[in-house]
Structure 1
């Protein structure tokens, strides 16, 4: 039951943070434990299931406290989601509660959010933004890579645009076909993922059929990021892609030609070696017949 704070152990606020975390986590634990009982009964669940809660606050650009966010997930799926507006002291639902709260319960929850959770969250957020401002406010430009991958069984060509190593995390990466954005349902990827060094990456991929390649469309990748003076616009080279497996046939033909040449060379070497061996045998016989008895005696 001890809260684990991902904070600096040498922080002068360590004891205060432990106390605040204890208040928040104890309340969350009690609330989730009691709610589990009703949710399992309401959904007719048996056995072992997972209940998770994600909570956090937002600080606006003018240092004004933003909304408090909550999301409850059951078995990995977000089922209940809402925000608390501090100014209006009101709850805005994004996904309704599985089991509704009565007015008295909502009044208690609003008080806890407005006078306990929200102040603690904003206080800690301000503190760590100040401590980590050099890290949070740093600017790193994205590195961009274009990749092509031939799909098996003549399924076409997959092109990918990867932007990596950028910070902050917001980025706009768009794939175009003939200067028109490609529909999202044709694109795979697009999630912003963390790198191990604190930067982020995003990859988007598109499969182009052989028929589309024959039509000669132009494809390009455009990237916009806070640290780029101008947008990056990179064109995919699909002209050198061989349609219909001609590249594979060329490779097969080249291999067969090399094998034939190798066989001819080996055959010629064998014939040459046999002739040379035969020539040496004939020369040896002639030398033996020309030896004199005296020469035999000398041996």
Structure 2
């Protein structure tokens, strides 16, 4: 079951959005067997924003944005709901047929579909279509050749069915998909077209091995997702050797973050100037952070020095206070002895 779910996640992550392109994607999953998951799930998204969902546990088309339903009339929304039910019935039948093709009679199995369309800023549009069985590619659309590709022998049967109605599918599906993508972009422009500036900081991990120090350029809080993070040496780049790039990851607030780490020796740091450069749609000009001028370790070092100095002052103050207290007690004790001795002397004189 775990392997199937990993495959499901990887399969859904293959779709991306490039700069200047908007995408409407429908991701559908049908699961057989006994699991804790709904056996049917449909999710609609524009770029990285979820619009709607439908699953077998709720049996209702749910809007995830206040503007999703505004893009459709009441009749159109009802038509969307009916289509979700149709997809559920269709994929239930499809999964059963595919299981028979693989001679799978039971257990947990998944059939997934990712389909949709892309619209470039210049008006160019295209569709995409991909099926997977148990997390592995099964059938896909080759748009350039306008044909379906059967990845495994068991998919040839379904390819032939799709080829028979190829012209209708390519034309009608594309027209309808692009139509809805345009409507969603219009109604949701405040969300989909927003721009949020990234925050950039350098985190330096001092060298513990001959390989050198690790300096991480952490870029966070930006939207949209597309960002370019580059390490430069003496203003030249991009550097590739000694650079590790992390994946762009989502934040809880709907923005994104990414890390790019440079490994550099102390000698190279002395000889060269290393800079992290960030380019994003929200920026008028690129952000540049130079290594060694504002890295997190420098801040930490300054704080540590300040704390140590404060501790030193406190210890010195405590020692002085204790010394004064000890000195004060000694003086009182001596005075008391002197007084007692004086009294004793006086008494002796009187008795004499």
What is the TM-score when the length of structure 1 is the normalising length?
Answer: 0.68
Instruction: Indicate yes or no: 2:193 matched with 1:137.
Output: yes
CA RMSD of aligned residues (A): 4.5
Q: Quick one: which of 280, 283, 302 aligns to 1:228?
A: 283
Instruction: Give 1:1-299 correspondences, 5 Å limit.
Output: 1=56, 2=59, 4-6=61-63, 8-9=68-69, 11-12=72-73, 13-39=76-102, 41=104, 48=108, 51-72=111-132, 74=134, 78-80=136-138, 82-83=140-141, 85=143, 89-91=146-148, 93=149, 96-97=151-152, 99-102=154-157, 104-108=160-164, 110=166, 113-114=169-170, 117-150=173-206, 156-178=212-234, 179-183=236-240, 186-189=243-246, 191-210=247-266, 212-213=268-269, 216-237=271-292, 265=320, 268-269=323-324, 271-273=326-328, 275-286=330-341, 288-289=343-344
Note closer, same or farther for the CA distance 1:256–1:111 as it changes in structure 2 (3 Å cut).
Answer: same
Shift of residue 59 of structure 1?
2.2
d(CA) in 2 for partners of 1:199, 1:241: 22
Q: Deviations over 1:6-56 (max 9, x none)?
A: 354565232122123333343334323432454575xxx985455543332
Note closer, same or farther for the CA distance 1:72–1:240 as it changes in structure 2 (3 Å cut).
Answer: closer
Uncovered stretches (5+) of structure 2, i.e. residues with no partner: 1-55, 348-352
d(CA) in 1 for partners of 2:90, 2:326: 92
Structure showing greater radius of gyration is 1
Q: Deviations over 1:48-102 (max 9, x none)?
A: 4555433322123344541223252635xx53473353x86423x5x93463414
Q: Deviations over 1:99-149 (max 9, x none)?
A: 341463342574784366545433432321221123223333333233334
d(CA) in 2 for partners of 1:235, 1:275: 60
d(CA) in 2 for partners of 1:137, 1:241: 33
> 1:67·1:84 contact (CA, 8 Å) conserved in 2?
no
274-283 vs 215-224, which deviates more?
Answer: 274-283
SS in 2 for 1:23: helix
How many residues matched? 277
Note closer, same or farther for the CA distance 1:240–1:203 as it changes in structure 2 (3 Å cut).
Answer: closer
d(CA) in 2 for partners of 1:270, 1:125: 81
Shift of residue 184 of structure 1?
6.9
> 1:3·1:18 contact (CA, 8 Å) conserved in 2?
yes
> 1:5·1:21 contact (CA, 8 Å) conserved in 2?
no
Uncovered stretches (5+) of structure 1, i.e. residues with no partner: 293-299
d(CA) in 2 for partners of 1:262, 1:154: 42
